[in-house]
Amino acid sequence: MKTKLHPTKNDLPENLRGKMIDLLNQQLADVLDLGLQAKQAHWNVKGPNFIGLHELFDKVAEELEEFSDDIAERAVELGGVALGTVQVISKNSRLPAYPLDLTSGQKHVAELSSSLAKFGTTTRTSIDSAARAGDADTADLFTEVSRGVDKLLWMVEAHMQSKD
Ligand SMILES: [Fe+2]
């Protein structure tokens, strides 16, 4: 974080808080992008599994919105600024751009599951980074997010795992 932190009586060292704020903002950019990808799938999916996928993709977006709120608010709790504008997300997200021309349910499932898995990977890495740095609470937050993302990945991937 380049800017000065807001003063707080939170006793975590400033240097640690700064590191955690950067980590939280990186994950925030990714999860906000991921939530929009789920909405993109929700709006544009077509085909025989339309209603199930349309509703599932919306549920994915809703759950990701809760995670993004928790991640953003932890950055602010630590004295930082949550970076959640579309310009910052677009610059910082590490997810591949979601294709705009998909209609097939299977293709949406394939794309969204890849993005969920990628976010799952960086969330797990973030658990370790936060724990190693000495912020058990940020590690715990990422652990909760990681468990939730694994569940969403299961629900999306299940559509590719059996033909009947
Ligand atoms: Fe909707």
pTM listed for this prediction? 0.96
Instruction: Compute, in angstroms, the gap from residue 41 CA to the centroid of ligand 1.
Output: 10
Question: Distance from the CA of 46 to the center of ligand 1, in angstroms?
Answer: 14
Give residue 54 CA to ligand 1 midpoint distance, Å: 8
Q: Are 157 and 42 in contact, with CB atoms under 8 Å apart?
A: no
Distance 104 CA to ligand 1 centre (A): 18
In tens, the pLDDT along 72-129 reads 999 999 999 999 999 999 999 999 999 999 999 999 999 999 999 999 999 999 999 9
β-sheet bridge partners, residue 55:
none
Name residue 53's beta-bridge partners: none
Tell me the C-alpha distance between 146 and 131, whole Å.
Answer: 14
Distance (angstroms) between ligand 1 centre and the Cα of 93 equals 24
Given the structure tokens 């240097």, which residue do they identify?
15
How many angstroms is it from 86 CA to the middle of ligand 1?
20
Label residues 136-156 b or e (16+ Cβ within 10 Å = b): eebbebbbebbebbeebbeeb
Distance from the CA of 45 to the center of ligand 1, in angstroms?
Answer: 11
- CA distances, 110 to each of 57, 72, 139, 152 (Å): 12, 28, 29, 13
Q: Separation of 156 CA from ligand 1 center, angstroms?
A: 17
Distance (angstroms) between ligand 1 centre and the Cα of 110 equals 20
CA of 94 to the centre of ligand 1 (A): 26
pLDDT in tens, 125-137: 999 999 999 999 9
Q: Of the candidates 72, 46, 41, which has an alpha carbon nearest to the alpha carbon of residue 155?
A: 41
**Please, are residues 64 and 35 in contact by the beta-carbon 8 Å criterion?**
yes
Q: Residues of the chain with pLDDT > 70: what percent? A: 98
- Ligand 1 centroid vs 39 CA: distance in angstroms? 8
Partner residues linked to 46 by β-bridges:
104
